[in-house]
Structure 1
Amino acid sequence: MQVIEDGFLFSDQKELLQIDRIHRYLSKESYWAKDIPAETVATSIQNSLCFGIYKSGIQIGFARWITDKATFGWLCDVYVEEDYRGKGLAKKLISFMIFHPDLQNLRRYQLATHDAHGLYEQFGFSQIKNPENQMAISISNPYNKD
C-alpha cells in the first residue's frame, strides 16, 4: 500500500525502509530507544508491520505496529524528522496506518507516549481504563549496560 500526498510518499513496503536512517534516529534522537543496537532495530522491523514517509527518495518518518493482525496491535517507534515537523505528516501517517487492511477489526490498539497524546486522541486513543489490570516487565535502559 502506498499513497503520495503533497510530494510525500507514505508506504508499507519494507523494501523501501532505510534501516540505517531509522537506527540513527531511534538510537540518537528518540527518548524511548536511546542507544538501541542496529541489529535490534533490524529484527524489530523484520517482525513488525512497518510504515515509512519519504521525500525525494529519502526516508523522513517511520512507525511500526507489533501485531498478530487478528486481535492486538501496539503502535511504536513513531517519528517524523525535525526538519519536516509541523506539516501534519505524523497525522497523515497515523491515518494511513490505522486504516491499513491488516489492522482492521482488532480488539485492542495500544501505544505509549510521553508527549503526543493530542495526536493520538484524534484517532480514538484514550487513557487506559482500569490501568490496575495492566502489567509489564520494564527494563530501564536495556541498551546501555554502563
Structure 2
Amino acid sequence: MATRTAAQKRAQAKAEYDAFLAVCPSRQLLDRISDKWVTLILCALGGGGSPRPGPDGSGEPRPMRYSELSRRLAGVSQKMLTQTLRSLERDGLLIRTAVPTVPVTVTYELTDLGLSLHGAVRTIKAWAEAHMDDVLANREAHDARDA
C-alpha cells in the first residue's frame, strides 16, 4: 500500500464527503448554516441587512459592530448573538477585529469563505420573504382539512 501525504489524505476525504451519510462531517456544517441567526448575520454583514439596500435588494458587504448587529437582528438575545458570532469566527466565515480605543471598538466582517456562502443564504432569505403568504395559506388550508 502506497503512503499518502497529508494533503492527499485531505483531498481523498473531501472527495468522499456525502451529507447523506450519518458519519459525514459536512452534516455539522449543514446544521450550523441552517440556523436562522447564522442566516441573518450572514445577510446583514453581506449587505442584505442594510436599511437602505441597493436596487437588487442588497447593499455592499461591510463590517458591523456588535451593537449594530444586535439592533438589526430583532429578537436575538445577547447570549445567542455572541455564541453565533464566535461559532462563525471559529468556522472561518467571519473575522472579528478589535481596535484598541476607549472603549475597544470591535467589528465583524465576512471572510472570503463567508462571502461565498452569503449569496446562497441571501437567496433563501429572499425566497422565504417572497413566499411566506403562500406558506401561510397552505398551512391554513391544511389545518382546516384536519379539523
* TM-score, normalising length: structure 1: 0.27
More strand by share: 1
* TM-score, normalising length: structure 2: 0.27
More helix by share: 2
Higher CA-based Rg:
2
